[in-house]
Structures are given as structure tokens and as C-alpha cells.
């Protein structure tokens, strides 16, 4: 199992990404000579698939004192309930107060992506899902998206950096641009076969120039056993990928003796569409899901101090003192 190492930006470490009121509070406390040991808890607002704690741990390892600090958390990919304490940090407030914003943000975005990925995976049953959402988010957080999607159950992602930090091989075949530039899908996949390492699966995109089943048969005939699969990404302007289209292509491939050719479906997929394919027993070997995962709403977390120098405290409406949760394990 690979141990992820996230690149914690200097802007996070120096507090430029923190809410300014936290910076101001720390300045006041520092000038007053006040720095108690606090226990801060982070609670989930919604249920979901917990993700982001590995990145939070990398941050805390850089900012917490080596002695006297404790960090307790749920494990990555845990299913969380509404209101559950997912993280508890005990440390001097001066060491942790400025990072409350960053920790909530890391957990919120990562848990949102992981939860969305898991929704797709659950509907796909045993059919693998690859995360294709990198083009729907800022490139600075592509690594976080890929990692969260895989923690949510995807078998891989389309980016090198997301796959690397997750300890998997990136997945992807060929873009429409390669076929268009070479004026032929067949020429494109043959060039792919010529120049790509043997371990990279030969998967042809078959919706660029002509009927998907015709192009699939043509390529399978020329490539033979070297062809691992085809990808169907029919645009919505032509009706998108339908259940009947997939069944037709599978039937024509089988009748022509190409049972070994897998079918991958991409383009506008979400849990509802995946469920429809699965319920109709569509002969699909893998799904590629992009925007649904990448555009998932963050799963918000609430943070608050529950102890100061061992004394139970809480703002009004909450119960003072530590909240029991036997699922927490010590990280630091």
C-alpha cells in the first residue's frame, strides 16, 4: 500500500488560505501571551465517504509540536454519519488555530468527491469505474480529485499525478484529436500500438468518423488480439451512448469473433444512467465518469474547541467536553 505524500503549499503553511479572523485571533492571543492546549473536534454535517485525512495528516506533521500533540481520526474511506466526530486534534492553540479553515476545506472537498465516486461505484455493481473528471476542475487540485475518487471506489483515474499518489496505474486510451489529426481512427490506434509501451492497453475510441459498430469491427479486424477494447463516447448531439447501441456493438463484435474486445462507455454518466445500463444488463466492461464526480458539492464539516487545558467547553447549543467515538484511531 502506497503512503500518499501531498504537496502542502506554502500559502497554506503561512496561513494565507486561512479565514482572516483566525489570523487576527492568533495575533491577539500571541500579544496577550495566551496559548492554552485545546482539543478541537471536527464533525460531519452530512453522511458520506470520508476522505482527505491523509492530506490533513501531512499538514499537521509540518505544523504541530513534536511533543504533546495528539491527532485522532476515522480512517480514509470510512462511511460517516451526520454529526459524527471524524477528527480530534489536541495541541496548543497557537499551533493549530490558523489551520482550521484548511482542514475543513480539505475534508469537505475530498469527502464530496469520494462520496460522488462511491455513488457511481455502488450503482455499477461489479463493473469498474475510472475517474475522468480532471478537465472539470482547476489543475492545482487534480491530484486531490483523483485520490478522492479512488478512495471512493474508482479503480483508477485519468491523470498521472492522481494515479501516482494513489498507487495505481493511470487509465485512458486516446482522444478524438488524435483520430481527427490522423484522419482515421484506424491509423490513430495503429500509431498508438506502434509507439506506446506494451503494458498500455490498446483501447480505440470508435465514435469519431462513422457508425460506432462499423468502426469497432474495422479496427478489431485489423488489430486482432492486440486490441484490448473500444471506448464509446457518442456526444449528446447524436443521442449519446444508449443501451441499445451498446448491445448492438457487443452483438456485432461477438458475431465477428471478437469476444475478447471490451467495451468502455463514457460521456455524461451519473448514478442514474449507470443504474439504467446495469438494470438492462448492458454488456459494458467499464465506465468512465467525469463531471459528476468532479462537480460534486463539498461535504461540509463543522469544527469547534471542546476542551481548554483539560476543562470541558463548548459554544451554546453544543455539549461541552469530548464527544465519544470508538471508531477514532490515533494518527499522531
Residues with Cβ within 8 Å of 82's Cβ and at least 6 positions away in sequence, in order, are 44, 45, 46, 47
* Whether the Cβ atoms of residue 88 and residue 303 lie closer than 8 Å to each other: no
Average pLDDT of span 87-116? 98
CATH of the domain at 168: 3.20.20.70
What pLDDT digit, counting tens, does each position of 160-212 carry?
Answer: 999 999 999 999 889 999 999 999 999 999 999 999 999 999 999 999 999 99
* Whether the Cβ atoms of residue 113 and residue 148 lie closer than 8 Å to each other: yes
Check whether residue 149 and residue 20 sit in a common domain: no
Residues with Cβ within 8 Å of 105's Cβ and at least 6 positions away in sequence, in order, are 17, 298
* Whether the Cβ atoms of residue 306 and residue 72 lie closer than 8 Å to each other: no
The whole-chain average pLDDT of the chain stands at: 96
Asked whether residue 2 is domain-assigned, the answer is: no
For 80, the enclosing helix (H) or strand (E) is: strand 79-80
Asked whether residue 132 is domain-assigned, the answer is: yes
Asked whether residue 118 is domain-assigned, the answer is: no
Check whether residue 233 and residue 319 sit in a common domain: no
Q: What pLDDT is attached to residue 4?
A: 77
Check whether residue 88 and residue 215 sit in a common domain: no
Please give the DSSP secondary-structure letter assigned to residue 239: T
Q: What pLDDT is attached to residue 80?
A: 98
Please give the DSSP secondary-structure letter assigned to residue 304: E
Average pLDDT of span 10-22? 96
- The parent domain of residue 194 ranges over 123-294
pLDDT confidence tier of residue 107, bands split at 50, 70 and 90: very high
Strands (E), 134-238: 156-157, 203-205, 229-232
Average pLDDT of span 246-261? 97
Check whether residue 240 and residue 164 sit in a common domain: yes
Check whether residue 75 and residue 169 sit in a common domain: no
Cα torsion through 251, 255, 258, 263, rounded to 10: 0
Task: State the Rg of the chain over Cα.
Answer: 24
Asked whether residue 3 is domain-assigned, the answer is: no
Q: What pLDDT is attached to residue 199?
A: 94
For 10, the enclosing helix (H) or strand (E) is: helix 10-13
Q: What pLDDT is attached to residue 236?
A: 87
pLDDT exceeds cutoff 70 at 2 = no
Asked whether residue 87 is domain-assigned, the answer is: yes
Check whether residue 152 and residue 285 sit in a common domain: yes
Q: What pLDDT is attached to residue 290?
A: 96
Residue 165, C-alpha cell as written in the block: 499518489
Percent of the chain's residues with pLDDT above 90:
95
Average pLDDT of span 112-138? 97
Residue 312, C-alpha cell as written in the block: 470541558
Check whether residue 247 and residue 127 sit in a common domain: yes
Check whether residue 308 and residue 200 sit in a common domain: no
Q: What pLDDT is attached to residue 102?
A: 98
**How many domains is the chain partitioned into structurally?**
2
Asked whether residue 4 is domain-assigned, the answer is: no
What pLDDT digit, counting tens, does each position of 143-173 carry?
Answer: 999 999 999 999 999 999 999 999 999 998 8
Check whether residue 144 and residue 289 sit in a common domain: yes
d(CA 282, CA 244): 8
What pLDDT digit, counting tens, does each position of 35-58 carry?
Answer: 999 999 999 999 999 999 999 999
d(CA 77, CA 154): 12
pLDDT exceeds cutoff 70 at 266 = yes
Helices 53-63, 100-124: inter-axial angle, 10-degree rounding: 160
Residue 201, C-alpha cell as written in the block: 492497453
CATH of the domain at 44: 3.20.140.10
Asked whether residue 102 is domain-assigned, the answer is: yes
Q: What pLDDT is attached to residue 196?
A: 96
Average pLDDT of span 208-227? 96
pLDDT exceeds cutoff 80 at 97 = yes
Check whether residue 27 and residue 68 sit in a common domain: yes
* Whether the Cβ atoms of residue 76 and residue 51 lie closer than 8 Å to each other: yes
Amino acid at each position: 500500500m502506497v503512503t500518499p505524500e501531498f504537496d502542502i503549499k506554502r500559502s497554506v503553511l503561512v496561513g494565507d488560505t486561512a479565514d482572516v479572523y483566525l489570523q487576527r485571533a492568533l495575533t491577539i492571543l500571541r500579544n496577550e501571551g495566551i496559548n492554552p492546549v485545546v482539543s478541537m473536534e471536527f464533525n460531519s454535517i452530512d453522511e458520506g465517504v470520508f476522505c482527505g485525512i491523509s492530506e490533513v495528516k501531512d499538514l499537521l506533521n509540518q505544523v504541530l509540536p513534536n511533543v504533546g500533540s495528539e491527532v485522532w481520526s476515522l480512517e480514509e474511506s470510512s462511511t460517516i454519519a451526520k454529526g459524527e466526530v471524524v477528527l480530534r486534534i489536541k495541541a496548543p492553540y497557537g499551533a493549530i488555530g490558523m489551520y482550521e479553515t484548511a482542514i475543513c476545506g480539505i475534508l469537505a472537498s475530498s469527502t464530496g468527491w469520494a462520496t460522488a465516486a462511491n455513488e457511481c461505484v455502488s450503482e455499477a455493481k461489479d463493473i469498474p469505474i475510472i475517474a475522468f473528471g480532471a478537465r472539470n476542475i482547476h489543475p492545482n487540485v487534480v491530484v486531490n480529485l483523483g485520490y478522492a475518487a479512488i478512495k471512493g471506489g474508482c479503480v483508477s483515474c485519468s491523470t498521472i499525478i492522481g494515479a501516482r499518489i494513489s498507487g495505481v496505474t493511470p487509465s485512458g486510451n486516446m482522444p478524438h484529436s488524435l483520430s481527427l489529426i490522423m484522419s482515421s481512427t484506424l491509423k490513430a490506434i495503429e500509431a498508438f500500438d506502434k509507439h506506446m509501451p506494451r503494458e498500455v492497453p490498446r483501447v480505440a475510441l470508435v465514435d469519431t468518423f462513422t457508425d460506432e459498430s462499423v468502426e469497432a469491427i474495422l479496427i478489431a479486424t485489423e488489430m486482432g488480439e492486440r486490441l484490448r477494447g473500444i471506448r464509446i463516447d457518442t456526444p449528446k448531439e447524436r443521442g449519446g451512448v444508449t443501451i441499445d447501441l451498446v448491445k448492438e456493438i457487443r452483438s456485432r463484435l461477438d458475431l465477428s469473433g471478437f469476444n475478447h474486445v471490451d467495451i468502455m462507455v463514457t460521456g455524461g454518466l451519473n448514478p442514474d444512467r449507470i443504474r439504467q445500463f446495469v438494470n438492462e444488463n448492458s454488456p459494458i466492461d467499464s465506465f468512465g465518469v467525469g463531471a459528476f464526480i468532479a462537480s460534486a458539492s463539498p461535504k461540509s464539516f463543522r469544527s469547534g474547541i471542546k476542551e481548554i487545558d483539560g476543562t470541558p467547553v463548548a459554544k451554546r447549543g453544543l455539549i461541552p467536553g469530548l464527544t465519544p467515538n470508538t471508531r477514532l484511531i490515533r494518527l499522531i
